[in-house]
Amino acid sequence: MDERILKWLFDIKMAIDEIDSYFINESKDFMKYRGNLMLKRAVERDLEIIGEATNRIITRDKTFEIKITNAKAIISLRNQVIHAYDNISDENIWSILINHLPKLKIKIENLINEK
């Protein structure tokens, strides 16, 4: 595997681990999340990193569009967070955190281990 792609996979993993770390001492409670502007901004920043790294990976190697589940949606979310920041739905971000990020974490870890 290309060393740059491996680095970007590690960037994704680190961003997911960071998001997980925000909830070590706090339960994953939507209302607490919704009311904590600093937490929301931190999560959004990590989602930007995940989206940018994913974009770099598939730009370098198109086969990763299939290897990373929902790669285009991940990149689209990054673009929305950056360019349509005033249209971000707390519910949408929360759904991603609860339903999609755990699956992405497993997928990325598997890709890293395949190297």
> Rounded to 10 degrees, what is the CA torsion of 20, 22, 43, 90?
100
**For range 90-110, the mean pLDDT:** 96
* pTM of the complete model: 0.94
Q: What percent of the chain has pLDDT over 90?
A: 91
pLDDT digits 0-9 by tens, 56-75: 999 999 999 999 999 999 99
Residue found by looking up tokens 């001492």 in the block: 25
pLDDT digits 0-9 by tens, 5-51: 999 999 999 999 999 999 998 889 999 999 999 999 999 999 999 99
Total domains in the chain come to: 1
**What is residue 48's predicted lDDT score, i.e. its pLDDT?**
97
Can you give the residue range of the structural domain that contains 71?
A: 3-114
- Give the span between the Cα atoms of 112 and 28, in whole angstroms: 27
Is residue 115 predicted with pLDDT exceeding 80?
A: no
> Rounded to 10 degrees, what is the CA torsion of 2, 76, 11, 34?
-170
